[in-house]
Amino acid sequence: MAQQTLLKGRVLSFTGSPFEGEPTEAVKISGAVLVEDDRISAVGDAESLRANNPEANVVDHGQNVIMAGFVDAHVHYPQTAMIASWGKRLIDWLNTYTFPEEMKFGDPAYAGEIANRYLDLTAAHGTTTMCSFCTIHPESVDAFFTAAQKRNQRVVAGKTCMDRNAPEGLRDTAQTGYDQSQALLENWHGVDRLSYAITPRFSPTSTPEQLEAMGALWADYPHCLMQTHLSEQTDEIAWVRELFPEARDYLDTYEKFGLLGSNGLYGHVIHLEARERDCLREVDAALIHCPTSNTFIGSGLFDMAGLMRDGHRVGLATDTGGGSSFSMLRTMAAAYEIGQLRGAPLHAAQLLWLSTVGSARTLRMDDCIGNVAPGMEADLIVLDLASTPAIAQREACAENLWEAIFPTIMMGDDRAIAEIWIAGQRVSN
């Protein structure tokens, strides 16, 4: 017999995109959600659901908001321990902080320790799914998938491939990158709630031979996602021009090797040229906005309004640990601030959509996660809209739900996450 739980509160669901028309018209607020085993079976009026399901265990969250768990579309779990490292631009930051830390992940015990720490920290912040870069070490992938599998958590990850411009001991080759990625993909992809992403770090750390090998691997497994970085900083773009003088632009260094496609996820994409924007849209590739990282490392201001207007698929991400927080709430706040600087501030409904449905769409998983609807997997969070005195005093004078939610987006942290459910099971917070 199915295990039933009826969660009562203000259940927030999306019925469309808040970037198309008036944002709040894409949102529906219901009184309860019924969870059966690991799925959402019904959403609607609390009394009706209670009457029709008298055996269900009832959990009443009052005026708290019940919504889909956050989906973080671009992270580096191996950078957990060196998050918020001071004062460098991208290339120096990689050499000074990232690469020395990633060297440690050939040790399965260390990789397992950080994988579990990362999943603990992100769950506390309400993130139920993420897409992560690992390191060049297969042990780093095994550790992450093993930790997520024990939690029955839906995650995406892949072995980072790089065969140049990285320290000795943190480089593979075109052949080993292909072979190890293929073995990991065959071992993990589609097991329980796990998915593999083919993962060349970015063009500067892969030779043309390795990029060609990654393109060949993706051609062999086109149903998999492919994740990389694109046009994050101006000095990075200049470096790419030096390394690939024959390329039309940065995107061309992927395109010519078969690494441009509809299942591609391209992180940052701040300084895109017109041809790059057109090509990405034509193939329906996913663009991932990493606002706390972009401000922390000084990369630039993502053109959310323009890219959404042009019909791109856009997701939101913390980019741990270039991003300076594990919190998708803080990430939404940074996205709002960047929108303000570009003269296009985002509505609270748009921010919540980006961190749930939008990011799930970039992962091609919006049919199973990212929203509260019958048949969806029961990855849910409960938001306390009065989690701190500062937030509570602002929420108390709010005239509508959106005024009540916005202070939590701008000032909330893990204290705002009253409850987390992963695959229909409550997670301690």
Mean pLDDT value across residues 123-128? 98
Taking only the tens place, the pLDDT of each residue in 52-109 is 999 999 999 999 999 999 999 999 999 999 888 876 677 787 888 888 899 999 999 9
Burial class (CB in 10 A: 0-12, 13-18, 19+), 113: middle
Percent of the chain with pLDDT over 90: 93
> Predicted confidence band at 34 (pLDDT cuts at 50, 70, 90)?
very high
Q: Please, how many CA atoms are within 13 Å of residue 409, restricted to the half-sphere of its CB? A: 25
- Indicate the pairing of strand 155-158 with strand 57-68: unpaired
Does the domain at residues 70-362 carry the CATH identifier 3.40.50.300?
A: no
123 SS3 class: helix
Task: Give, as one character, the DSSP assignment of residue 213.
Answer: H
DSSP code per residue over 218-280 = HHH-TTSEEEEEES--HHHHHHHHHH-TT-SSTTHHHHTTT--STTEEEEE--S--HHHHHHH
**Structure tokens of 117?**
């720490």
* 352 close to 23: Cβ distance less than 8 angstroms: no
> Predicted confidence band at 429 (pLDDT cuts at 50, 70, 90)?
low
Alpha helices per DSSP H over 268-379: 274-282, 291-296, 304-309, 328-341, 348-353, 359-362
Task: Give, as one character, the DSSP assignment of residue 321.
Answer: T
User: Does residue 227 carry a pLDDT above 80?
Assistant: yes
- From residue 324, how far is each of 38, 55, 75, 185, 292 by CA, in Å? 32, 44, 11, 30, 6
* 145 close to 134: Cβ distance less than 8 angstroms: no
Which residues of the chain does CATH 2.30.40.10 include? Answer: 4-69+371-427
Which residues of the chain does CATH 3.20.20.140 include? Answer: 70-362
Residue indicated by tokens 């913390």:
318
Return the C-alpha torsion angle 160, 165, 171, 176, nearest 10.
Answer: 70
* 424 close to 34: Cβ distance less than 8 angstroms: no
Taking only the tens place, the pLDDT of each residue in 308-351 is 999 999 999 999 988 899 999 999 999 999 999 999 999 999 99
Query: What is 4-69+371-427's CATH topology?
Result: Urease, subunit C; domain 1 (2.30.40)
